Amino acid sequence: MAKVKNIIQLYIICLFCFSTSNAIAQRDYEEDLRTFFGGAMLGGNLSQISGDGIEGFHKLGLNFGAMTYIKLDDNLALSMEMLYNEKGSNWWKGVDPIITNTNGKLYNKYRITLPYAEIPVVLNIFDKHQSNFGLGASYGRLFNEKEILDSADLSKAFPFRKYDVNLIINGTLMFNQHWGMNLRFNYSMVNIRKLYNLDLLHREQQYSRLWTIRAIYLF
């Protein structure tokens, strides 16, 4: 609970900072409307962990937070976000491939849940309608982890790295001045875990892969 409270406090502080930057930007709108603007986003993730023996983006997770843009040129802007970003992996009986161990035992379900507080920084190229495409990176801090194999809790047995560094490919389609839809792909640039469960058919090093779709509102 203490970790969750710390994350909530961190979000409140960051949202205050975003609001402050937007207020400053509003005072400058008469000089340059394009310099600063911010927004909020809410959506979901489809994720998997490369190396856990499971194929497919079966893990659903939340993705929400706030962001701010700094325009560098008419068609170029740097964005920074503060996110809650839930990653992981999910398998249940009936989804290929069958999860088994070296002794031939079959399992019914396997789930990994990894919530991060994450700060992505993306360089965005805009078109005349303010839709954009971007490339960037993010730093995420893991504040909890859950690994369940059938009814067994393996959360403490094979710990994950406490941070995650990701490559980001990002695209946003704006429908009007305020509303848009964002599609993003994340891939870990460092492994999220080296230790693994020898009872399962895992690769030694594991990496997170993630598709995100979000609604965006720009202030």
Give the residue among 142, 79, 149, 89 at the shortest CA–CA distance from 115: 142
- pLDDT at residue number 103: 65
Predicted confidence (pLDDT) per residue in 155-214, tens digit: 888 889 999 999 999 999 999 989 999 999 999 999 998 866 656 656 678 899 999 999
- pLDDT at residue number 198: 56
Give the residue among 195, 202, 186, 3 at the shortest CA–CA distance from 100: 202
Integer-rounded Cα Rg, in Å, for the chain is 19
- pLDDT at residue number 24: 41
**Cα dihedral value 182, 188, 192, 196, nearest 10:** 110
- pLDDT at residue number 168: 98
How many CB atoms are closer than 10 A to CB 10? 14
* Chain-centroid distance, C-alpha 59: 13
- pLDDT at residue number 20: 46
Structure tokens at 123: 């360089």
Separation of alpha carbons 188 and 195, rounded Å: 16
Total residue length of the chain: 219
Domains of the chain: 2-218 (2.40.160.20)
- pLDDT at residue number 194: 80
Q: State percent of the chain over pLDDT 70.
A: 75
pTM greater than 0.85 (yes/no)? no
- pLDDT at residue number 25: 40
Q: Any idea what DSSP says for residue 51?
A: T
Q: Which residues of the chain have pLDDT under 70?
A: 1-34, 94-104, 195-203
The angle at the Cα of 196, spanning 193 to 197, to the nearest 5 degrees, equals 150
